[in-house]
Amino acid sequence: MDTPAGVDRLPDGPVRRMFQAARTHDLDAMVAEFVEDYVNTTPNHPARSFTGRAQVRSNWSALFAGIPDLQVEVRDAATGADGKVWVEWESHGTRRDGLAVEQAGVAIFSLRGDRLSAARFYLEPVERDTGDVNAAVRSVAGAGPEGSRP
């Protein structure tokens, strides 16, 4: 199977197999890489966190159905001393209603045996028209234009 940049950096095992299955839209093979009580923590959106392999199946089933040309690409990966696998990845495609979607981020996977047991999930929509770095800093800091106080 051809692999995009970065997939070769994934260690042999469940993370690599999961991304390969995602790339081919093989839902059963993908879900098989997760333990039944898998925990997905989404720190930037806590209400989106969930537990269970069944929710993994539900999420990816909806994605594959709603974005038939969904492509998943690994940009880089590393394994920590604790065995966690850090993956920078992105996805893109076109929804059935014609809207293009693009996401990018990082997932930090924990393993139990030869399966995925948990992840800290930081995948976000790519926003190309939300202003430059100065606008972002002003938004967080509460500063007005050109550094003036509100």
The pLDDT tens digits for 62-95 are 999 999 999 999 999 999 999 999 999 999 999 9
* CATH 3.10.450.50 is held by the domain 7-147: yes
Residue ranges per structural domain of the chain: 7-147
Please tell me the pTM assigned to this model. 0.86
Question: Which pLDDT does position 37 carry in this prediction?
Answer: 98
pLDDT tens column, 17-45: 999 999 999 999 999 999 999 999 999 99
Per-residue pLDDT tens digits for 119-143:
999 999 998 888 899 988 888 899 7
Token pair 């839902």 is at which residue? 27
